[in-house]
Structure 1
Amino acid sequence: MSERVVRIAARGDGVTTSGRYVPLAAPGDVVDEAGAVTPGRHHATPPCRHFPECGGCQLQHVDDEAYRAYLVDRVAGALAAQSVSIPEIRPSHLSPPRSRRRATLKAMGGAVGFNAAASHRIVDMRECHILRPELFALVAPLRRLLKGRAEATLTLADQGVDLLLGGVAADDLAAAESFGAFAANHQLARLSLDDGYGAQTRWEPVPVTITLGGVAVGLPQGAFLQATADGEEALVDAVREAVGDAATVADLFAGLGTFALALGARIYAAEASRDAAQALKVAAGAAGQPVFVEHRDLYRQPLDPAELDRFGAVVLDPPRAGAEAQVERLATSRVPRIAYVSCNPATFARDAKRLAAGGYRLDWVRPVGQFRWSVHVELAASFSRVALA
């Protein structure tokens, strides 16, 4: 008996009406008893020769309409699992192909690329439909440069590609000169090597920066950056809407200042990474931005309600673990508005449940697909205070 695929599961499999999981199936496909798939209208032809072997993408076989719906379903499902009332879930924003400006590739035995799905085997990348062309252009040169096991983290900065090679050392003058020549020949913004004892800069003709909110911020090695400039813009727009006209804003887990430098308000920014906090402080000062930066670990030392109540709005952009300790304090504060940016619907929903119990209303959520064709979901959400519990 044949049945129809009705949705996409969290890890990318199609799910039929009976709950059967079918790899590489899209909503609208028909699956027979033997598992053969007849494509439906949402089944797309994967653009990349490496799909589905490469672990960089899981959903190239679905069209954009189905992919947007998948992102919405992931958010709605996470909220439902926490018994949080489903708010307005806005249409998903998708970053375009070839827009990823940061990625970490693996190298071994002359192969360079992402790992195969659920494997340590490297898929030797010969094309890529997610990376910025400036990053992909370095894959072939890295294949020639790296012969042993290594890791290459590439970030597109203002000055060009910032390349950090892990598991690599320049043990003698000849090796040092070869890395310098590589950096010069490929016009890198910076080349750093990490042999296991921390990153060491080997090439940086001018200080490397990334422009955030119109301000050039020094880019520390390995610092967090939104995956695409397009996705960053969508998240910034959502945060601006959520905080409204608040004159004073606390930006918690501020990073390099993605939101702090874009809001046009008086900002208190807290960040646990010393390098990121220092870079933001220097950049804001040089630009004359009213941003006060504190190096502060919000997991160990969250702001308490008395500190929070000074602000007209709070922005949260925590790591995948969420912001449980900080949310506990926020739930008993009187902050009128909260903008929450998340890269994990499950921990976001957990935190949303606690905020709702404290008297906050979840007004809307916007899913953002920065990691094109992957099962990775990001979102921005707006909370407003209804009553203090």
Structure 2
Amino acid sequence: MNGYIKLARLPVRRYRSHMNETHLEIKELGHRGDGIAFTDEGPVYVAGALPGETIRVRMDGNRADLIEIIVPSPDRVAPVCTHDPASGSCFMQHLAEQPYLVWKRSLVENALRSAGITTEVSETVAATAGGRRRAVFSAARKGRSVVLGYYGRASHDLFDAAGCAVLTPQIERSLAGLKELAALVLPKKGDLRVTVLETTAGLDVALEKAAASYDRQIAALCKKAADLGLARLSVNGEILLEIRPPLLDMGGTGIVPPPGGFTQATVAAEEALAQLVVQGAGKSKWVADLFSGIGTFALRLARVANVHAVEGDAAAIAAFDRALRKPQGLKKVTFERRDLFRRPLVRDELEPFNAVVFDPPRAGAQAQAEQLARSKVKTIVAVSCNPATFARDVKILMEGGYTLKSVTPVDQFQFSPHIEVVGVLMRE
């Protein structure tokens, strides 16, 4: 690419003067995807800029709005999406695939380095384009129309999701109908949360923060859901219509998740994570799966080992229980509901297990890691969606005598700064 690149699609703040315009040279890519330039006043962060680029910007403190690319990076590519790059979290579409995957790996490497951990990190397992089978949208009124989509980066602007490149084709095709469905129960103020999950039986849709008077629209909601061919429709936690059980396949075991409940966002990433977990647990005969959710890993581990699943969410545990009531060819599986943040499994409770898997929310599992560090468990598989808390928890385990054997990043959220990571630790 030669010459100047004008960036008409980038959001630019309006100023009365051009006095704060300047040129910058981008040196690094930050953990949020911003290009970083270094000046006498400190680092300046520029969304949409890449290392090696010379750019013209409007300054705004330690941030700057990108106006023009004077010298582009050879790693810059045309976005695959027609949407404004400020919409949603897919703001890394301008970076070519290979350097993008290297950057994703660097997020994990940098987090580990900040925690004082030096280790080799495997190459990033790439995401699948158009594979987002679970999406959470917002719906709100804009004048006389309804917008269903994503909020812009660090803004209250709501962008329509039509044409979104990361969604599965089935969800993308349903967006117009989902907008009509949302319009029936939109609150007078604020927005409606719309969670859509593609299952083997069709779409499972959960509407949350619906108007308090939504019960007046139940007949219309059910008709629209049936017309759209939805498997299930829930509003504010109440199941209004279930034409077919919205089944997910967890390694050969069918499970119906709770309405709006957490599942991995893509099938490809779920399978990659599960494979790493099962491989990490190795030939362990007794495995504890902590923060087990609906059984994403537990049900796969139970094909080869006895499993005890522990989860704090009542709806997730209930879904797991229902799945176990049908013969599945699994080994012994037990479960308990327990808040592992307040009551982690202590050393004596961990004694029966050869391996422990834990996959906590973004806050990590510090209290549980501290107990594991005191245990005699031979193998620990740590799964995380937050490299910083992953590194903190791994550091605790290493200080307790564990050796970090492998670290693998998995890119579930394509074009975003989010990264999943799986680490395997062993007590020698």
Same fold (TM over 0.5): yes
- 2:275 alignment counterpart: 237
Please name the residue that 1:268 is paired with.
Answer: 308
Instruction: Select between 4-13 and 110-119 the one with higher mean Cα deviation.
Output: 4-13
Q: Look up the match of 1:26.
A: 50
- The reply on whether 1:10 has 2:10 as its aligned counterpart is no
Contact kept, 8 Å, 1:28 with 1:42, in 2: the verdict is no
Question: Could you give the per-residue CA deviations for residues 82-111 of structure 1, whole angstroms, max 9, x where no partner exists?
Answer: 112x22200101211111111111111211
Conservation of the 8 A alpha-carbon contact between 2:203 and 2:246:
no
Residue of structure 2 in register with 1:54 after alignment = 87
Task: Give the direction of change, closer, same or farther, for the CA distance of 1:106–1:210 in structure 2 (3 Å limit).
Answer: same
| 2:144 is the alignment partner of 1:120 | no
Q: Which residue of 2 aligns with 1:160?
A: 202
| Residue aligning to 2:17 | none
Q: For 1:33 and 1:121, how far apart are their aligned partners in 2?
A: 22
Q: Does the 8 Å contact 2:261/2:316 carry over to 1? A: yes
Residue 142 of structure 1 corresponds to 178
> How far is 1:60 from its partner?
0.8
> Which residue of structure 2 aligns with residue 291 of structure 1?
333
Query: What is the root-mean-square deviation in Å for CA atoms of aligned residues?
Result: 2.1
SS of residue matched to 1:262: helix
**Aligned with 2:151: secondary structure?**
coil
Shift of 1:25: 1.6
Cα distance in 1 between the residues matched to 2:284 and 2:333: 14
1:312–1:171 distance in 2 versus 1, CA, 3 Å: same
Larger Rg: 2
The residue identity in structure 1 corresponding to 2:77 is A
- Matched with 1:277 is 317
- Mapped to 2, the partners of 1:90 and 1:58 lie a distance apart of 24
- Larger deviation: 348-357 or 22-31? 22-31
Displacement of 1:252 after TM fit? 0.5
Match of 1:108 in 2: 140
Aligned to 2:19: none
- Correspondence 1:246 to 2:298: no
Q: Distance in 1 between matches of 2:232 and 2:36?
A: 46
Letter in 2 for 1:220: P
The residue identity in structure 2 corresponding to 1:193 is V
The one-letter amino acid paired with 1:281 is D
Identity %: 37
- Identify if the C-alpha distance between structure 1 residues 144 and 224 changes in structure 2 by more than 3 Å, giving closer, same or farther: closer
- The answer on 1:189 being equivalent to 2:231 is yes
Alpha-carbon spacing, 1:222–1:68, altered in 2? closer, same or farther (3 Å): same
2:408–2:423 contact (8 Å) kept in structure 1: yes
2:14 matched to which residue of 1? none
Task: Give 1:385 shift.
Answer: 1.1
User: Deviation of residue 141 (structure 1)?
Assistant: 1.7
Question: What TM-score, normalized by structure 1, do the two folds share?
Answer: 0.92
**Which one-letter code corresponds to 1:167 in the other structure?**
K
Distance 2:377 2:341 in 1: 19
> Which ranges in structure 2 are unaligned for 5 or more consecutive residues?
1-21, 59-65
Cα distance in structure 1, aligned partners of 2:215 and 2:408: 52
Tell whether the 8 Å contact from 1:7 to 1:70 is kept in structure 2 after alignment: no
Aligned counterpart in structure 1 of residue 395 of structure 2, from 353, 357, 368: 353
1:322 aligns with 2:364: yes
**Residue deviations 1:342-367, cap 9 Å, x none?**
00011111111111110111111111
- Residue 130 (structure 2) pairs with residue 98 (structure 1): yes
Judged with a 3 Å threshold, the aligned counterparts in structure 2 of structure 1 residues 218 and 145 are, in CA distance, closer, same or farther, namely: closer
Letter in 2 for 1:283: A
Residue type at the aligned position of 2:425 = F
Query: 1:335–1:173: structure 2 CA closer, same or farther, 3 Å change rule?
Result: closer
Deviation of 1:56 after TM superposition, in Å, equals: 2.9
- What is the CA distance between 1:204 and its match in structure 2? 0.1
Q: Which moved more, 1:30-39 or 1:375-384?
A: 30-39
CA displacement at 1:282 relative to structure 2: 2.7
SS of equivalent residue, structure 1 residue 261: helix
Tell me if the contact between 2:192 and 2:207 (Cα under 8 Å) persists in the aligned partners.
yes
Matched length? 381
| Distance in 2, Cα, partners of 1:143 & 1:32 | 39
Indicate the residue corresponding to 1:41 in structure 2.
Answer: 74
Question: Is the alpha carbon distance of 1:42 and 1:348 closer, same or farther for their aligned partners in structure 2, counting shifts above 3 Å?
Answer: same
Aligned partners of 1:281 and 1:291 also within 8 Å: no
CA contact (8 A) 1:25 1:43 kept: no
- The structure showing larger relative contact order (alpha-carbon pairs under 8 Å, at least 6 residues apart) is 1
What is the TM-score when the length of structure 2 is the normalising length? 0.84
2:400 corresponds to 1:368? no
Say which is worse superposed, 274-283 or 88-97, in terms of deviation.
274-283
Map of 1:309 onto structure 2: 351
